[in-house]
């Protein structure tokens, strides 16, 4: 059985994330979406558990997708869970340098691990969780940016924190 891991902070989940999840789920028997603690983005708008619950609601129609949490090194998580492929979405060349560096680091930590880069769909190349938070906090419409299953939750949280 082929299985892959799609890690990210997903703070909050976007339509771009879901596009990568749907496409990757067609390539593997099982895909685990992993909410990872991102040390370069401390705090976060949503708790890890809230992100997990949002992702579960958004992927419940994908039977070969599960959602989990990673508290440590991604390479250790991948090894422990019997996977050897990590999926990463790339929006633009600016994403590639950091993602490539992470892929090489993970390969060094777990040589059996491969990283598969999936290019973002054109309509999501501009989209990030940071953009969602910025637009929403300023009262903009994020309907086209976030999944309908979690739209109201995202809007309520962001606009009530601003």
Which homologous superfamily does the CATH classification assign to the domain defined by 3-161?
A: HUPs (3.40.50.620)
**Residue 40: pLDDT band by 50, 70, 90 thresholds?**
low
Average of per-residue pLDDT values in the chain: 93
pLDDT digits (tens, 9 = 90+) for 61-100: 999 999 999 999 999 999 999 999 999 999 987 789 999 9
- Extract the tokens encoding 157: 């949280």
Would you say the pTM of this structure is higher than 0.85?
yes
C-beta separation of 115 from 84 below 8 A: no
pLDDT at 159: 87
The answer to whether the beta carbons of residues 16 and 121 sit under 8 Å apart is yes
What Å distances lie between residue 39 and 54, 71, 158, CA to CA?
21, 11, 21
Q: Which residues are annotated as catalytic?
A: 17, 41, 91, 129
Mean pLDDT of 129-156: 95
Query: In this predicted model, which residue has the larger pLDDT, 148 or 39?
Result: 148
Percent of the chain whose pLDDT exceeds 70? 96
Boundaries of every domain in the chain: 3-161
């Amino acid at each position: 059985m082929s299985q892959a891991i799609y890690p990210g902070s997903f703070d909050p989940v976007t339509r771009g994330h879901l596009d990568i999840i749907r496409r990757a789920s067609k390539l593997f028997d099982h895909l685990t979406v992993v909410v990872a603690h991102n040390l370069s983005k401390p705090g976060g708008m949503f708790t890890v558990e809230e992100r997990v619950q949002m992702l579960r609601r958004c992927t419940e129609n994908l039977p070969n997708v599960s959602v989990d949490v990673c508290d440590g090194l991604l390479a250790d998580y991948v090894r422990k869970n019997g996977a050897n492929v990590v999926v990463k979405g790339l929006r633009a060349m600016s994403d590639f340098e950091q993602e490539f560096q992470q892929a090489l680091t993970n390969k060094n930590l777990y040589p059996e691990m491969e990283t598969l880069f999936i290019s973002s769909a054109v309509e999501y190349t501009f989209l990030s969780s940071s953009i969602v938070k910025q637009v929403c906090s300023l009262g903009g419409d994020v309907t086209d940016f976030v999944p309908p299953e979690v739209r109201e939750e995202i809007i309520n949280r962001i606009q009530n924190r601003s």
